[in-house]
Amino acid sequence: MDQNKTNNLILAGAIISIIGSVISVFLIGYMFYINILFGWLFSIFGAIFKIFF
């Protein structure tokens, strides 16, 4: 019984850590994507702004 409870806790901790790492990787990738996208957009707007003004 006690060993089974310990195994369940270890399994739950492993699942939570896997989910957390997947979420953190997804968030980091999303933030990089947003940064690259906005940097690209702002560089285009900056180039257009320099051409006109």
Which amino acid belongs to residue 46? G
Looking at residue 52, its pLDDT comes to 80
**Percent residues over pLDDT 70 in the chain:** 98
Task: Look at the chain and count its residues.
Answer: 53
Q: What's the mean pLDDT in 4-16?
A: 93
Computed over every residue of the chain, the mean pLDDT equals 89
Domain ranges of the chain: 24-53
SS3 of the chain: helix, strand, coil, percent, to 5 = 95, 0, 5
Angle at 49 between CA 32 and CA 38, to 5 degrees: 10
The pLDDT tens digits of the residues spanning 31-48 come to 999 988 888 888 888 888
- The confidence score (pLDDT) of residue 44 equals 84
CA angle 31, 33, 34 (to 5 degrees): 65
pTM as predicted: 0.52
- Kindly state the average pLDDT of the residues 15-36: 93
